[in-house]
Amino acid sequence: MNEHSASDPVYKTDSLIAEDIDAYLELHQNKGLLRFITCGSVDDGKSTLIGRLLYDSKMIFEDQLATLEADSKRVGTQGQEIDFALLVDGLAAEREQGITIDVAYRFFATEKRKFIVADTPGHEQYTRNMVTGASTADLAVILVDARKGVLTQTKRHSYLAHLIGIRHIVLAVNKMDLVDYDRETFENIVEEYAAFAREIGIEEFTAIPISGFKGDNITQAPSENTSWYEGPSLIQHLETVEIANTAAQARTFRMPVQWVNRPNLDFRGFSGLIASGEIAPGKPVRIVPSGKTSTIKSVVTMNGDLERAVAGQSVTLTLEDEVDCSRGDVIASADDPPQVADQFEASIVWMSDEALIPGRAYWLKLATQTVSATVAEPKYEVNINTMEHLAAKTLELNSIGVAEVTTDRAIVFEPYEDSKALGGFILVDKITHATVGAGMINFSLRRAQNVHWQALEITREDHANLKNQKPAVLWFTGLSGSGKSTIANLVEKKLNLMNRHTFLLDGDNVRHGLNKDLGFTEADRIENIRRVGEVSKLMADAGLIVITAFISPFRAEREMVRAMLPEGEFIEVHIDTPLEVAEARDVKGLYKKARQGELKNFTGIDSPYEEPEKPEIRIDTTAMTPQEAADLVVDKLLGSG
Amino acid sequence: MQRLTHLERLEAESIHIMREVVAEAQKPVMLYSVGKDSAVMLHLARKAFFPSPPPFPLLHVDTTWKFQAMYELRDRMAEEAGMDLLVHHNPEAKERGINPFDHGPLHTDMWKTEGLKQALDKYGFDAAFGGARRDEEKSRAKERIFSFRTASHGWDPKNQRPELWNLYNARKSKGESIRVFPLSNWTELDIWQYIMAEDIEIVPLYMAAKRPTVERDGLLLMVDDDRFPLEPGEEPQMRSIRFRTLGCYPLTGAVESEAATLPEVVQEMLLTTTSERQGRAIDKDEGGAGMEKKKQEGYF
């Protein structure tokens, strides 16, 4: 069944290997590298196609083939014939289900190129895997079953490939053997696809009729069965498309700094992977965001200094001047530096079971910069089957939307369509550390560039000195009925007797005014805490000792407030009362209502309370009286101040 | 326009990965097994941080049963790179005299799997570089470059973080650690070509020479020292052999070969039709899912 490919010229030629290994190695030393992704739905024959590519390029060894033959008979779906899909479907659990469920990377090579294939599943719930695989790909092979034509999945995969910025699309119409290699069937599918592709902005694509199972038009074209086909074979096409890496060289120079190399006082180098353009000694550069300029002194590698380096190379640069530059900065061409902003519009793919919470702070990593960022309520979500824009309050797992992103400090960026390296980012949950989302910057929002801080002449130190105290925020957190307000009141009374300037922000009181527009959903509770945090910060700036009493059930928001304040000014006080005890007290009768279902999202009942991991002060209310607790808090506060 | 070759791109990617780890992990370490992949990984580390020495130590989780030539090269390479070399022996395995002749799979489990966990815990390393490649074995093809392990060093293939572009999320929860595979996208041929292109020193056992051998259970074993228990009537034979992978000498099968130079080795590799790990007994346990199971239990 493989007779036509064994001696194909595109694959490694046994004769050259045997006769002149040095010539062969020379040839292979200088190959290029193309990364591509294959997408198709479960039955489109994707794994079979990849298995075929590996098989034809002899990436399968005899012992693997023996295992494959045995497996094919045992669990294969092709009767007694070899089931190439088994080569590719790796993990044991998947083998039993008969589907691929994650992103797997495969390797093969021809005479001209080495290929890395990202194999991603076609199942509806796995958008995140496809986006992951596509993010590093130069090209996408979209598989269509010739018997079924363009399906919803085909559109979805094409949309995602286009969204993630893949410029080369191959429409591989597979299983041509099952439609008798019918030209009209192929052409109808191509026509239908072309209409759709135009709609979503795909400017061009290459359509190839193939049979992954039989091998038609995989290595050579046209195959005997498709004599009417005039285009290249799949491999021929893969060997000749332009590689994105080369395109990046044509743009202006940018290198995000990964690491500062300082072996001794005489050497200071900046290490990074060149994202775009090229660089050489003597070229003027600008460090962004600081804006400082200098000139490249040398391009250092272990194999000797380079006369020039280009996009895609990892190098270490030294500069003529002693300028500040560290991880997160971008070294760019002096006359055309990238933008800096702290507010963007971005397309976001959500990748976590836990939906996006607008307003919550996540870590955002873009190139080598990591900052705290919040995502606003999406402007819209995209229905990836119909491409319609839908109204959305959040983004669930595998959904894609457009939203504003605000970072806590300005970052260096470029729109994603200009630079994947400076326009693509990931979002990381601050508590679980999971990668929960991926984003692509569309553009910065004008107002980010126009809001400036007003420099104030009376500083926060002046305010504090006048009051003769060190400002602080005593942040009480705990279940409803744990005793927060009681103890907070006692603390404030005690501090006032000691002539300290204080202010108590109480949960219930704030909800009557500042936050009366907010409810008790997760998103509203986060906004509630964010506002209280900002107010506390202003009061601390004014020199006050702020005492707050809020349930503040989520760790992420408490950490957000901590991050707003100077180190040491946020003092987390955990009023640790077991749920049974708080519920037994039930001063306001709220637990009873919550248990009866009259109150929704009640902390401890149907909404979680995330205990502080390392509070500065922990009060066990079952072991001390409120007065003792207040004494302890005041002692700790003044002791540390 | 300068077209980068596949080796140049792979090198740049690996160096980028290593620098990300050094920038974001608290206490990284490089696992060094003295094999050819380790040799390439170490070379890349030296390039990544030049002119500084790589800012992390090398860790060899030793079984005491490696080839003598490996110990010799190991010590020399660490010194040349200007790096600290940490060698860990599982004290329990040592005490119980666990060896490959008498204990079979327990040998690998105790010395390597348990030994590795002990060493990582002992020094508190939070990120460990490993030289595994995705083309080696099916379950590796799906593993991320940054692969997280629970506090008990387990791997959960169903719960891996998506890895987009070249943005690696190195944040971990308490007790978790990261295995980082900078050679993920290299193939065996890439490794060999890079060794030739960069003139990287490897253990001479990869090249054919006359060596004392015995044949056992279909494997051709080299008698590397006098701990090798010969069966009655067994007499070591001098054969021209080389190794495709290097592990514990009593567990590593040699191939008969005349390939004494690197190009000849590559030539032979390209013309042969048995895969690299075939010489290792470890992958054959429990059918096709053997390695996946081992990894879930904490094998690297």
Name the helix (H) or strand (E) containing A590: helix A590-595
Check CB contact under 8 Å for B141 and A90. Answer: yes
Chain B residues whose CB is inside 8 A of the A246 CB are 1, 3
pLDDT higher than 60, residue B252: yes
Chain B residues whose CB is inside 8 A of the A12 CB are 270
Q: Which of A25, A94, A128, A329 to mutate to test the interface with B (most CBs of B within 10 A)?
A: A25
B16-68: per-residue pLDDT in tens? 999 999 999 999 999 999 999 999 999 999 999 999 999 999 999 998 989 99
More confident site: B155 or B198: B198
Q: B149 CB near a chain A CB, below 8 Å?
A: no
Q: Which of B22, B47, B147, B164 to mutate to test the interface with A (most CBs of A within 10 A)?
A: B164
> What are the sequence ranges of the domains in chain A?
14-243, 252-333, 339-446, 460-640
- Stretch A293-299: mean pLDDT, rounded? 96
Per-residue pLDDT band for A39 (boundaries 50, 70, 90) equals confident
Q: What is the pLDDT of residue A184?
A: 96
Chain A residues whose CB is inside 8 A of the B196 CB are 25
Contact B223, B213 (CB under 8 A): yes
Q: What is the pLDDT of residue A14?
A: 63
The yes-or-no answer to whether A252-333 and A339-446 have a common fold is yes
Give the closest of B158, B267, B293 to A17, CB-based.
B267
What's chain B's Rg over C-alpha atoms?
19
pLDDT higher than 80, residue A623: yes
Contact B195, B38 (CB under 8 A): no
**Angle at A436 (CA atoms; ends A435, A442), nearest 5 degrees:** 105
**ipTM for the predicted complex:** 0.90
- Stretch A24-47: mean pLDDT, rounded? 82
Contact A316, A310 (CB under 8 A): no
Q: What is the pLDDT of residue A641?
A: 40
Contact B169, B246 (CB under 8 A): no
Q: What is the pLDDT of residue B281?
A: 46
Chain A residues whose CB is inside 8 A of the B11 CB are 314
More confident site: B240 or A105: B240
Starting at the earlier edge strand, list the strands of the sheet with A206-209: A104-109, A113-119, A32-39, A139-145, A168-174, A206-209
Q: Specify the 3-state DSSP secondary structure of A458.
A: coil
Q: What is the DSSP string of chain B?
A: --PPPHHHHHHHHHHHHHHHHHHH-SSEEEE--SSHHHHHHHHHHHHHHTTSPPSS-EEEE--S-B-HHHHHHHHHHHHHHT--EEEE--HHHHHTT--HHHHTHHHIIIIIIIHHHHHHHHHT-SEEE----TTS-GGGGG--SEEEE-TT----TTSPPP-BTTB------TT-EEEE-TTTT--HHHHHHHHHHHT----GGGS-EEEEEEEETTEEEE--STTS-PPTT---EEEEEE-SS-SBGGGB--EE----SHHHHHHHHHH--S-GGGGBSGGGTTGGGHHHHHHHTT--
Q: What is the pLDDT of residue A458?
A: 83
Percent of chain A with pLDDT over 70: 87
Per-residue pLDDT band for A60 (boundaries 50, 70, 90) equals low
Catalytic residue, candidates A227, A552, A607, A640: A552
Other Cβ atoms less than 10 A from the Cβ of B123: the count is 14
Strands A545-549 and A502-506, bridge-based pairing: parallel
Q: What is the pLDDT of residue B172?
A: 87
Q: Specify the 3-state DSSP secondary structure of A326.
A: coil
Residue of B nearest to A89 (CA): B138
Q: B22 CB near a chain A CB, below 8 Å?
A: yes
Q: Which among A131, A566, A608, A563 has a CA at the least distance from the CA of A363?
A: A563
Q: What is the pLDDT of residue A557?
A: 86
Per-residue pLDDT band for A59 (boundaries 50, 70, 90) equals low
Least confident of A140-144, A306-310, B287-291: B287-291
Q: What is the pLDDT of residue B294?
A: 59
Q: Report B:262-291 residues touching A (Cβ under 8 A).
A: 263-264, 266-267, 270-275, 278, 288-289
Highest average pLDDT, of A84-93, A190-199, A598-607, comes from: A190-199
CATH 3.40.50.620 domain range(s) in chain B: 6-191+289-296
Residue-averaged pLDDT of chain B: 86
Verify whether residue A480 is a known catalytic residue. Answer: no
Name the helix (H) or strand (E) containing A344: strand A339-350
Contact A200, A387 (CB under 8 A): yes
A525: left (phi over 0), alpha (psi -120 to 50) or beta: alpha
pLDDT higher than 60, residue B276: no
Tell me which architecture the domain covering A252-333 has in CATH. Beta Barrel (2.40)
**Which class is domain A460-640?**
alpha beta
Tokens representing A147? 């018997």
Percent of chain B with pLDDT over 90: 53
Strands A32-39 and A104-109, bridge-based pairing: unpaired
CA distance A258 to chain B (A): 7
pLDDT higher than 80, residue B283: no
Per-residue pLDDT band for A92 (boundaries 50, 70, 90) equals very low
Other Cβ atoms less than 10 A from the Cβ of A613: the count is 11
Chain A residues whose CB is inside 8 A of the B158 CB are 93
pLDDT higher than 70, residue A599: yes
Chain A residues whose CB is inside 8 A of the B157 CB are 91, 93, 102
Give the closest of A105, A432, A433 to B185, CB-based.
A105
pLDDT higher than 60, residue A165: yes
Contact A113, B3 (CB under 8 A): no
Q: What is the pLDDT of residue A98?
A: 46
More confident site: A86 or A120: A120
pLDDT higher than 60, residue B127: yes
Residue of A nearest to B197 (CA): A29
Per-residue pLDDT band for B298 (boundaries 50, 70, 90) equals low
CA distance A497 to chain B (A): 42
Q: What is the pLDDT of residue A86?
A: 67
Tell me which architecture the domain covering B6-191+289-296 has in CATH. 3-Layer(aba) Sandwich (3.40)
Check CB contact under 8 Å for A421 and B166. Answer: yes
Q: What is the pLDDT of residue A259?
A: 97
Residue-averaged pLDDT of chain A: 86
More confident site: B200 or A157: B200
A220-239: per-residue pLDDT in tens? 889 999 999 999 999 999 99
Chain B residues whose CB is inside 8 A of the A366 CB are 167
- Stretch A481-503: mean pLDDT, rounded? 92
CATH code at A339-446:
2.40.30.10
Highest average pLDDT, of A93-102, A525-534, B135-144, B289-298, comes from: A525-534
A361-383: per-residue pLDDT in tens? 999 999 999 999 999 999 999 99
What's chain A's Rg over C-alpha atoms?
31
Residue of B nearest to A244 (CA): B3
Query: How many contacts (CB atoms, under 8 Å) link A and B?
Result: 205
CATH 2.70.98.60 assigned to A14-243? no
Give the closest of B9, B193, B278 to A28, CB-based.
B193
Q: Which of A26, A302, A413, A440 to mutate to test the interface with B (most CBs of B within 10 A)?
A: A302
